[in-house]
Amino acid sequence: MEMVSVGKKVPNFEMEVYDPKTRSFGKVSLEDFIRERRWLVLFFYPADFTFVCPTELADLAEHYEELTQLGVEVISVSTDTKYVHLAWHQSEKLLENVTYPMGADPTGKIARMFGVYDEDTGLALRGTFIINPDGVLVGSEVNFYNVGRNAEELVRKMKANVYLMSHPDEACPAKWEPGRKTLKPSEEIVGRVHEALG
């Protein structure tokens, strides 16, 4: 399977999930989110019942409501099965506020599609992927096993991406937050970005 690149359409995929909200198993596909015109964040992590992973999922849970208000669905994904997700969610106190779906990718097919499958371990690296409502990959971040992510930065990136979807002629500078000045790329601001932001 060909690895998807930023700026390209993501091939449709389907995966089983454990849904902590309903305490039930289900299936999701990328086509569902495109049809509903929703953003999708895939949050890959190495494995259930490990060390850094529950801290990341708990941090993400703290920002989940803010993300859903932006029209985003989040799915955490590992190579564990849906059954292991259920058992981990029930036993790990850090996951008590996790209500987003937990995706199961036991064959590593989806992790391979996004280039985060580690053939040596059978686990996924820490990868965060943002897919827009057209099914295009617009954001990609990959960390090694030992460095956890910060969900606040994901929220900031999502606000910028949502804004730019409806303002395609603009660009968001570093640390951009809603209400701050954006850039309108043109020959007039080449070498004069300081003035354009002033």
Residues known to be catalytic: 53
Rounded distance between C-alpha atoms, residue 87 and residue 91, angstroms = 6
Give the Å distances, CA to CA, from 87 to 1, 10, 19, 50, 106: 31, 31, 12, 13, 16
CB 147 within 8 A of CB 51: no
Burial code (b: 16+ CB inside 10 Å, e: under 16) for 10-45 equals: beebebbbbbbeeeeeeebebeebbeeebbbbbbbb
In degrees and rounded to multiples of 5, residue 2 shows phi and psi of: -75, 140
